[in-house]
Each structure stands twice: as C-alpha cells, then as structure tokens.
C-alpha cells in the first residue's frame, strides 16, 4: 500500500493532540507538510500560508484543515480549486451555506470532500445505531457538560461570532444523535445563555420535535466542574440505551456492552483514505443545521461575565 502525502493546515491543540498522532500511525498517509504561522512540526516542512503550500507542493494531493471554522471556507475553496482532496475538522463551516457550497465545488472539481464528525466514530456509536434501528423511541435526553477552561484554555476564537461557543462541544453530541436516531428530529425551542462579555453562548437548552410523542431534549454547559458529563440516554419500547464518556461506553438496560475500535481520529483518517480511493465524498450538514436552528429559535439569556 502506497501512503498518500497529506498536509495539515492549522497546527493548534487539536492538530497536535489528535491529527498528527493519527496520521503518524496510519499507513495510508504521510505527513508531508504543515501550514502554520506559529510554528509547525519538528522535522516537517512548514509554510506560512496555504497559498504558499499549494504553489510549492503540487505533489501533495490531500489537506486536512484544522483551523477554526470562520477561515475554513476560504481555505477549503482554495484547496479544492487547486485539485486537492480536503478533510474538514468539525464543524465543517461557520455557516450551513458554506458547507453546501463546498460540496458543490468539490463535486465539480472531482475531488474528495470529507466533513468529519469525530464523535460519530466513538466506540459505542455504531452498535448503538444498530440496536436502535428497529426500536420505537419514547424519550431522548442529552447531557453534554464540560469545563471550558480545561478544554479550550485561552482560545478566544470560540467566544467570537462563528466560534459556536458551547456548541463547539455540543455539536459532538448532535453528531451522534443525528447518526444513531432511527427517526428524524428538528429543533422546536432553545434557550441560549450568553455571558454579558461574550458573543457566543456558554450554555444551551434545546427541545426537539419528531414523530409521535417523542420527548427529546439536550443540555449543553461549559461551566461544569468536577469532571465531564458526556452522555446520551434513549428510552425505547424495548429498553433504555445509554452512551457515556462521549460515546465510548454503551449500556443497554444498565448492562455494559462490549465495544471497541481504533479511536475516533484514526477512524477518520481511515475513512478519508477510503473516500479518496473510491472517488467519493462524505458531507453531512445535519448537526450544523441543528446549531443554526438553535441560534434562529433561541431565547437569549444574559449571564455573568466569563473570564479565563
């Protein structure tokens, strides 16, 4: 198997924690270059800008975009125009329209576009989807709570327009829900809590509507202390399913199920390689649509200032 050269654009925390180790362990890819103004990866060629990379290295066929969502569209558009396959960190864009535009551009250019949702590749998600497939859903409860100071220290962009605020982690839960639920849901109400000194919410309460009398809600909160709560509980006519630890552990009626996989980001790169090999794309905007609807429907609540 011949490895595909790939470049990482945006060498921040998520790139160093997840993308770089996953590429290093994947026989399908070789990290050939990076794009970063603040320093790249030791021993790897670095470029100051994406345009510089695209001009200097026409031999690199794939790029993984790990920068914040607001500048991601222009970077993806430029890479697609240069004939490169593109992998997008979540969320795939700052707006839903951007995602549809990139999908069209990739299709016209004949390149692969992979809009990733890493939490869909957590160990318990596929098994949860299979178990729920023939069940009647009665209740969905999502609790996704963490400490922003721990997971996003000093990252000012998350508090700026387009940064999503608490929906940055919350969209992970939505990506799982939209993957495993056997029936479609749409947002019917939302309350968004904004610190008085920030432009994005620190907490959100969502209510969904769907077929029948489904009771479906989600709570996201960035003020959690004493450990993360990343869980989804679904009551059905045949028992209760629970995913905990971000989808890594699966319980049916309280009994833990045996699940295993290679890890979320290694699975993403395995999927990206398959898409490139088969000439396909994978672009699902459903989680981002829920977030956009929350901003459209959400009742704004102003809360105490937040300081790092």
**What are the structural domain ranges in the chain?**
4-115, 121-261+292-303
With both helix axes pointing from N to C terminus, report the angle between 72-81 and 96-109 in degrees, rounded to the nearest 10.
10
Average pLDDT over residues 167-172: 97
Q: Residue 304: its pLDDT value, please?
A: 96
Starting at the edge strand that comes first in sequence, how are the strands of the sheet with 29-35 ordered?
A: 45-47, 29-35, 4-9, 62-65, 85-88, 113-115
- Residues above pLDDT 90, as percent of the chain: 92
Contacts of 182 (CB under 8 A, 6+ apart): 132, 133, 134, 135, 137
pLDDT tens for residues 233-286?
A: 999 999 999 999 999 999 999 999 999 888 999 999 999 999 999 999 999 999
Annotated active-site residue 90? The verdict is: yes
Q: Identify the band that residue 16 occupies on the pLDDT scale cut at 50, 70 and 90.
A: very high
CA distance 46 to 7: 9
Catalytic residue among 90, 129, 150, 242: 90
**Residue that wins the pLDDT comparison between 120 and 39:** 120
The domain 4-115 is placed in CATH, from the list 3.40.50.720, 3.40.50.1970, 3.40.1390.30, 3.30.43.10, at: 3.40.50.720
Starting at the edge strand that comes first in sequence, how are the strands of the sheet with 249-252 ordered?
A: 255-256, 249-252, 239-244, 229-236, 137-145, 215-221, 203-209, 186-195, 299-303
3 state SS for the chain: CCCEEEEEECCCHHHHHHHHHHHHHCCCEEEEEEECCCCCCCCCEEECCHHHHHHHCCCCCEEEECCCCCCHHHHHHHHHHCCCEEEECCCCCCCHHHHHHHHHHHHHHCCCEEECCHHHHCCCHHHHHHHHCCCCEEEEEEEEECEHHHHCCCCHHHHCCCCCCCHHHHHHHHHHHHHHCCCCCEEEEEEEEEECCCCCCCEEEEEEECCCCCEEEEEEECECCCCCEEEEEEEECCEEEEEEHHHCEEEECCEECCCCCCCHHHHHHHHHHHHHHHCCCECCCHHHHHHHHHHHHCEEEEECCCCC
pLDDT at position 1 over 70? no
pLDDT tens for residues 51-91?
A: 999 999 999 999 999 999 999 999 999 999 999 999 999 99
The third-level CATH classification (topology) of the domain covering 121-261+292-303 is Dihydrodipicolinate Reductase; domain 2 (3.30.360)
CA distance 232 to 230: 7
Q: Identify the band that residue 50 occupies on the pLDDT scale cut at 50, 70 and 90.
A: very high
Q: Residue 2: its pLDDT value, please?
A: 84
Minimal CA–CA distance to 4: which of 265, 270, 281, 282? 270
Q: Residue 212: its pLDDT value, please?
A: 84
φ, ψ for residue 236, nearest 5 deg: -130, 180
Q: Cβ-count burial of 17 within 10 angstroms (0-12 exposed, 13-18 middle, 19+ buried)?
A: exposed
């Amino acid at each position: 198997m011949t490895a595909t050269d790939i470049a990482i654009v945006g060498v921040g925390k998520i790139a160093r924690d997840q993308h770089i180790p996953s590429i290093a362990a994947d026989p399908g890819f070789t990290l050939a270059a990076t794009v970063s103004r603040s320093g790249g990866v030791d021993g790897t060629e670095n470029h100051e800008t994406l345009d510089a990379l695209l001009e200097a290295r026409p031999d690199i066929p794939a790029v993984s975009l790990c920068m914040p969502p607001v500048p991601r569209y222009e970077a993806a558009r430029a890479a697609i125009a240069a004939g490169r396959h593109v992998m997008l960190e979540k969320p795939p864009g700052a707006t839903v329209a951007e995602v549809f535009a990139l999908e069209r551009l990739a299709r016209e250019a004949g390149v692969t576009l992979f809009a990733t949702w890493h939490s869909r590749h957590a160990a318990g998600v596929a098994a949860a989807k299979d178990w729920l497939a023939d069940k009647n859903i009665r209740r969905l409860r999502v609790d996704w709570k963490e400490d922003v100071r721990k997971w996003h220290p000093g990252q000012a962009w998350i508090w700026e327009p387009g940064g999503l605020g608490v929906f940055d982690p919350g969209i992970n839960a939505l990506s799982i829900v939209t993957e495993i639920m056997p029936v479609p849901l749409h947002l019917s109400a939302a309350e968004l809590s904004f610190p008085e000194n920030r432009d994005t919410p620190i907490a959100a309460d969502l209510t969904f509507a769907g077929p029948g009398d489904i009771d479906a809600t989600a709570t996201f909160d960035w003020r959690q202390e004493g450990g993360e709560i990343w869980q989804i509980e679904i009551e059905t006519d045949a028992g209760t399913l629970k995913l905990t630890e971000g989808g890594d552990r699966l319980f049916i009626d309280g009994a833990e199920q045996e699940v295993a996989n290679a890890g979320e980001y290694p699975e993403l790169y395995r999927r990206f390689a398959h898409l490139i090999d088969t000439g396909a794309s994978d672009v699902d905007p459903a989680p981002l649509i829920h977030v956009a609807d929350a901003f459209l429907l959400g009742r704004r609540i102003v809360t105490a200032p937040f300081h790092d």
